[in-house]
Homo-oligomer: A and B are copies of this chain.
């Protein structure tokens, strides 16, 4: 049993590593989205009649 515990602990650690990487990815993607939105909006001001209404997902 002791070995089983250790064995699972290693699996848990690897699984957590994978989760943390995914969490980090989510953060970065969110930052990227914010930047892209502000870019899109800035352009929308420059081309008020263009097809550039920003999608607000609302």
A residues neighboring B (CB under 8 Å): 1-2, 4-5, 8-9, 11-12, 15-16, 18-19, 22-23, 25-26, 29-30, 32-33, 35-37, 39-40, 42-44, 46-47, 50-52, 54-55
Which chain B positions have C-beta within 8 A of A33? 29, 32-33, 36
Tell me, in angstroms, the Cα distance from A18 to B17 when the chains sit together.
Answer: 12
Q: Which residues of B contact A44 (CB under 8 A)?
A: 43
CB-based contact B55/A50 at 8 Å: no
Q: Is the CB of A36 within 8 A of B40?
A: yes
For residue A15, which residues in chain B have a CB less than 8 angstroms away from its CB?
Answer: 12, 15-16, 19
Hey, which chain B residues are within 8 Å of A46, CB to CB?
A: 47, 50-52
